[in-house]
């Protein structure tokens, strides 16, 4: 997922429509938000953490996505894509461990 898509999700989660309101909620300037939208800059780690808190997800997911976008070389893009893939695999493994517990609870009810 692209970092802009995380911003859009944060707007929906917060129930706001404007980038100005999202910028205010995240404690950044409206011009910083405009630069993200226009592709002139990428979300930095501190903004990624704030967005992750809004979305209740691991900040590394957004940090990796932003670093993939801002990578200047194919080597760096591949490295950050690997981080994202490992994060995703780890999440899926965790989900697989938790799912049987939920299935057992449902059958007992």
Residue 3 has a pLDDT of 86
The CATH number that domain 3-108 falls under is 1.10.260
Cα–Cα distance measured from residue 28 to residue 1, given in angstroms and rounded to the nearest whole number: 22
Could you report the per-residue pLDDT of 36-55, keeping only the tens digit for each? 999 899 899 999 999 999 99
Q: What percentage of the chain carries pLDDT values higher than 90?
A: 48
At residue 93, what are phi and psi to the nearest 5 degrees? -65, -40
The reply to whether the predicted model has a pTM over 0.85 is no
Residue 91 has pLDDT above 90, yes or no: no
Could you report the per-residue pLDDT of 51-73, keeping only the tens digit for each? 999 999 888 889 988 988 888 89
């Amino acid at each position: 997922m692209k970092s802009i898509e995380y911003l859009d999700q944060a707007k929906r989660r917060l129930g706001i429509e404007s980038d100005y309101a999202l910028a205010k909620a995240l404690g950044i300037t409206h011009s910083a938000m405009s630069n993200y939208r226009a592709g002139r800059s990428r979300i930095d780690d501190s903004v990624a953490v704030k967005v992750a808190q809004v979305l209740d997800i691991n900040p590394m997911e957004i940090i990796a996505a932003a670093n993939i976008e801002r990578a200047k070389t194919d080597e760096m893009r591949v490295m950050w894509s690997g981080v994202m893939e490992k994060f995703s695999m780890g999440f899926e493994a965790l989900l697989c461990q938790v799912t049987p517990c939920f299935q057992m609870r449902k059958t007992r009810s």
